[in-house]
Chains A and B, each alone.
Chain A
Amino acid sequence: MSETPEPQETEASPPRNVIEVRDLVTHYGDRMILKGISMDVHADEIMVIMGGSGSGKSTLLRHLMALEHHTSGTMRILGQDIDELNNVELVDLRQKLGVAFQGGALFSSMTVGENVMLPLFEHTKLDRKTMEIMTRMKLQVVELGGFENLMPSELSGGMIKRAAFARAIVMDPKILFCDEPSAGLDPVVASQLDDLILLLRDALGMTVVVVTHELESAFKIADRITVLDRGEILFIGTPDELRASDNQRIQNLLNRVAEDDTMDAETYLNRLTGDEPAYRPL
């Protein structure tokens, strides 16, 4: 037997929890956005994160993708404590994470195929032929086979989302993150994307984390749902447990009842006058 050197494996055997968050606190400027979040994401599950506007779900997603620094608490992704990683290790970790952004985020000056192939160019030294075949395979998976030479402007909204999924999975990520995958799509196309997410989890054994406010989608795809409310976790459990919850705020969410703005008068006044800190990126 000839032998190829084994790659350096940074994590031990795959953990049951691919993400572990403990007491995560984060600020934008002086404003506390996440107020002590603790949650796990299990291997091979689809975890849906829900919550109203300003609940902190998009902020939490960026932290789960190891894109932002937190104020306190710990976070382990694929068994690695991200606070203990240097920049090289962080880049290595991020290569194991795939992200399908809300708007697709395709480069308009590149063909669909070039967009999908981009992570392979950036992060691998694979032969060009291998990269081209991988790209066409992933486009086939998302039912865009043969579309590699089109420009993004020639695709429909649903097709752009599919192309974004193809790019997100081109490197066979361990965890796939999806930010509002159904936003702006008609119900039929949105349902097809849900089917695609289920297929990727079932066929490729990916763990999937989805941020969405689409209830129908959440109940269709989720193994578990996390509900965020004003930077805190209101609920973590199965869709059936969520439906059965008698918590009024959860029922409001399920019944799409607008929450009263409970900001007190003084806070409102301070915000108008600038004494209450506004959201500000780090």
Chain B
Amino acid sequence: MKHEVKEAGASVVVAFEGDIDLQTSPAAREALLEAVGMGKPVVVDLAAVSYIDSSGVASLVEALQTAKKGGQDLTLAAVSEGAMRVLKLARLDAVFTIHDRVDDAV
């Protein structure tokens, strides 16, 4: 898994690439919490994520809750079909704000 953090307008975009699974989700979690720590709205770009397991989704949930406690937004963008299935199964599609494209979110 790779990830990239960049600022876009007033937001911070965290773009992941590859699989987010039991092995890689700790790094994803760290990246997400660091981005939230920057104090700006966070957009998580999942366009290049081929697979995300429940540990990856749990990291997203924790980051969302941390952001909300700090009065920040954390939104998802370009969620793949597989990732969306996992989110829906856990009924998280109603918890996250999900945009089709990153440009719609920033």
- Residue ranges of A at the interface with B (Cβ–Cβ < 8 Å): 1-4, 6-7, 124-127, 129-131, 133-134, 137-138, 140-141, 170-172, 199, 203-205
Report chain A residues within 8 Å CB of B23.
7
CB neighbours (8 Å) of A2 from chain B are 2-4
Question: Which residues of B are found within 8 Å of A6, using beta-carbon distances?
Answer: 1, 18
In whole angstroms, how far apart are the Cα atoms of A131 and B58 in the complex? 8
A204 to B81, CA, bound (A): 11
The answer, among A126, A138, A170, A205, for a CB contact under 8 Å with B25, is A126
B22 touches A203 (CB 8 A): no
Within 8 Å CB of B89, what residues of A?
A: 141, 199, 203-204
Minimum CB distance partner of B82 in chain A = A205
Instruction: Pick 18 A–B contacts, CB within 8 A, sort by A.
Output: A2-B4, A4-B1, A4-B2, A4-B24, A6-B18, A7-B23, A126-B26, A130-B25, A130-B62, A133-B61, A134-B54, A137-B54, A138-B54, A141-B90, A170-B54, A171-B22, A172-B53, A205-B82
Residues of B within 8 A of A199 (CB): 89
**How many chain B residues touch the partner (CB < 8 A)?**
30
Q: Besides A127-B26, A137-B61, A203-B86, 19 other CB < 8 A contacts?
A: A1-B2, A2-B4, A4-B2, A4-B3, A4-B24, A4-B27, A6-B18, A127-B29, A129-B62, A130-B26, A134-B55, A134-B58, A137-B54, A137-B57, A137-B58, A140-B91, A172-B55, A203-B85, A204-B86
- Indicate whether B75 reaches chain A with its CB closer than 8 angstroms: no
Q: Is the CB of A124 within 8 A of B57?
A: no
Scan residues 16-74 of chain B and give those whose CB is less than 8 A from a CB of chain A: 17-18, 21-27, 29, 53-55, 57-59, 61-62
Which residues, 64 to 106 on B, are CB-close (under 8 Å) to A? 82, 85-86, 88-92
Contacts of B92 in A (CB 8 A): 137
Q: Which residues of A contact B85 (CB under 8 A)?
A: 203-205
* Chain B residue at smallest Cβ distance from A123: B22
Do B90 and A140 touch across chains, with their CB atoms under 8 A apart?
yes
